[in-house]
Amino acid sequence: MCPELKWSKLDYKDLLPKRAVDAHKGIFGSCLVIAGSMTYMGAAILTAKAALRTGVGLVHLIGPESWQAAIVSQAPELIYHPIQMPSACFEPTHLEMVKRIIDSAKISVLAIGPGLGLDPLTGQFLRDLLPFCEQVKKKVLLDADALRLLKSDDLKDYQTEIVITPHPKEASLFFSQEKALSQEARLSFAKKAIQDFPHTLVLKGYQTIIAQKKPNASAKWIGNSSGNSGLATAGSGDVLAGIIAAL
């Protein structure tokens, strides 16, 4: 059995850090969203807006030049970095610009994955980017297509904090499981997977399972008994990615 979260709204409220009355946006960090491709602009917007609404001080979004007007109309608070995207996806040639944004904007956390697409060029871009993120000690959230383009072995020696947010199929692919993962098998799968992946796993589905393993510490896991099938709609995972990155 998995221990369950059965808390009231007041319990959740107590977990959130208190904000000083004289606080300013510079105190609450900055998030870089790397999401979307020429086909999936909506995923990038949903993730970035969720991070904003959850309370990140500054949210940066990088994407094609052709998106700029739409992005500004949807969320003028976003800091948008337009790039040329001749292959209709992120690719290794974008790495140097992303590095400059991380350094110059003092990025605290990166939210990577929603709507990226599955082009091999994007996979190589991610494998080039993540060692830099580790080098400069940036926290990373990986979701959706990032978990299809990468494997857990790509990150097994990664020392900086990572959160991954797969649904069962993405989890099977990321951890190189031959069989599809069923809803019923998620707890035993999470317990096993987290032993060799010392990070945080948010395994989505009915009663989401959260498992965490930190170096030199015992693994922990818990089930979230809240939520309902209203979340079973396109975009809810993108929003969750933005929320968790913000927190």
Q: Quick one: pLDDT at residue 7?
A: 61
**What are 120's two structure tokens?**
């091999």
Separation between Cα atoms, residue 221 and residue 143, nearest integer Å: 19
Predicted confidence (pLDDT) at residue 6 exceeds the cutoff of 90: no
Residue % of the chain over a pLDDT of 70? 96
Q: If we measure between CA atoms, which residue out of 120, 206, 198, 122 comes closest to residue 164?
A: 198
pLDDT tens figures, 114-154: 999 999 999 999 999 999 999 999 999 999 999 999 999 99
Q: Quick one: pLDDT at residue 204?
A: 95
- What one-character DSSP code corresponds to residue 233? S
Predicted confidence (pLDDT) at residue 211 exceeds the cutoff of 80: yes
How much is the average pLDDT of 1-27? 77
Q: If we measure between CA atoms, which residue out of 185, 192, 183, 184 comes closest to residue 221?
A: 192
Helix (H, G, I), strand (E, B) or coil at 44: helix
Predicted confidence (pLDDT) at residue 3 exceeds the cutoff of 80: no
Q: Quick one: pLDDT at residue 111?
A: 98
User: 216: which residues sit within 8 A by CB, 6+ positions away?
Assistant: none
pLDDT category at 207 given cuts 50, 70, 90 is confident
Average pLDDT taken over every residue of the chain: 92
**What are 38's two structure tokens?**
């020429």
Q: For 145, left (φ over 0), alpha (ψ -120 to 50), or beta?
A: alpha
pLDDT tens figures, 147-189: 999 999 999 888 899 999 999 999 999 999 988 888 889 989 9
Q: If we measure between CA atoms, which residue out of 212, 214, 194, 203 comes closest to residue 166?
A: 203
Separation between Cα atoms, residue 145 and residue 84, nearest integer Å: 21
Q: Which pTM does this prediction carry?
A: 0.94
- What one-character DSSP code corresponds to residue 111? E
How much is the average pLDDT of 82-88? 95
3-state secondary structure 76-142: CCCEEEEECCCCCCCCHHHHHHHHHHHHHCCCCEEEECCCCCCCHHHHHHHHHHHHHHHHCCCEEEE
Separation between Cα atoms, residue 59 and residue 77, nearest integer Å: 8
Residue that the structure tokens 């605290």 belong to? 108
Q: If we measure between CA atoms, which residue out of 156, 171, 182, 159 comes closest to residue 237?
A: 171
pLDDT category at 1 given cuts 50, 70, 90 is low
pLDDT tens figures, 15-55: 788 899 999 999 999 999 999 999 899 999 999 999 999 99
pLDDT category at 4 given cuts 50, 70, 90 is low
Please list the residues that pair with 34 across neighbouring strands: 112
Q: Quick one: pLDDT at residue 201?
A: 97
